Amino acid sequence: MSATAATNIELRIPRQPEFVRIARWMTCGLAARLQFPLGAVKDIELAVGEACTNAVEHAKGPQDEAILIRFIVESRRLVIEVIDYGQGFCEEDEGDGLGLVIMRSVMDHVEICCGPDTGACVRMVKQRDGS
């Protein structure tokens, strides 16, 4: 059965290590054809890789749960949300890991907005002409 009305591009992968690369690869295909420069394509791949890796490593709940990656293609930027249906977390939990540091350094904006329906939701923005 169809989910709710589709207005977005949504990619769903199992929350398992060997599927993270699939999300990266498909993201790359999108970013490259959206004509981001090569460095920016790699930045976007890396950020999606880090966010999905965190979902696999930190989200509790059934192993076969999904990670949802939502792409919002706007005229001047690409917005990506990575949602894992786990327990969520907030900025204070971040500790001294590298994942979020890297996401923040390669994307123009990274925001964590968790909720009971989504678990962790990491929202990332890459500007068309961003750094």
Partner 1 sequence: MEIPLRIEARMEGEKVGVLSLSGEIDIATKDQVREAAEKLIAGGARSLLVDLAEVEYMDSSGLGVLKGLRSQLVEAGGKVGIVSPQSYVKKLFERSGLDQVFPIYDDLGAALEEAGR
Ligand X SMILES: Nc1ncnc2c1ncn2[C@@H]1O[C@H](COP(=O)(O)OP(=O)(O)O)[C@@H](O)[C@H]1O
Does 100 contact ligand X by CB under 6 A? yes
The DSSP element (H or E) to which 77 belongs, if any, is: strand 77-83
Binding-site partner at residue 78 among a second copy, ligand X, partner 1, none, CB < 5 to 8 Å by type: partner 1
List the single partner that 89 binds among ligand X, partner 1, a second copy, none, CB under 5 to 8 Å by kind.
Answer: ligand X
Residue 59 in contact with ligand X, rule: CB under 6 A: yes
Structural contact between residues 69 and 45, judged by C-beta atoms closer than 8 angstroms? no
Pick one of 85, 106, 114, 123: the residue that binds a second copy (CB under 8 A): 85
Per-residue DSSP letter, 92: G
- Cα of first residue to Cα of last residue in the chain, in angstroms, is 42
Q: Are strands 66-73 and 9-14 parallel, antiparallel or unpaired?
A: antiparallel
Angle (deg, nearest 10), helices 17-33 and 38-58: 150
Is the separation of the CB atoms in 114 and 121 below 8 Å?
yes
Task: Specify the stretch interacting with partner 1 by CB under 8 A; choose among 6-14, 71-79, 83-91, 111-119.
Answer: 71-79
- For position 21 contacting a second copy by CB under 8 A, the verdict is yes
For residue 71, the minimal CB distance to ligand X (Å) is: 18
Q: How far apart are CA 15 and CA 86, in angstroms?
A: 10
Options 1-9, 40-48, 53-61, 73-81: segment touching ligand X (CB under 6 A) = 53-61
Contact flag: residue 99 with partner 1 (CB under 8 A): yes
Which of ligand X, a second copy, partner 1, none is residue 56 near (CB under 5 to 8 Å by kind)? partner 1
Q: Residue type at 127? A: Q
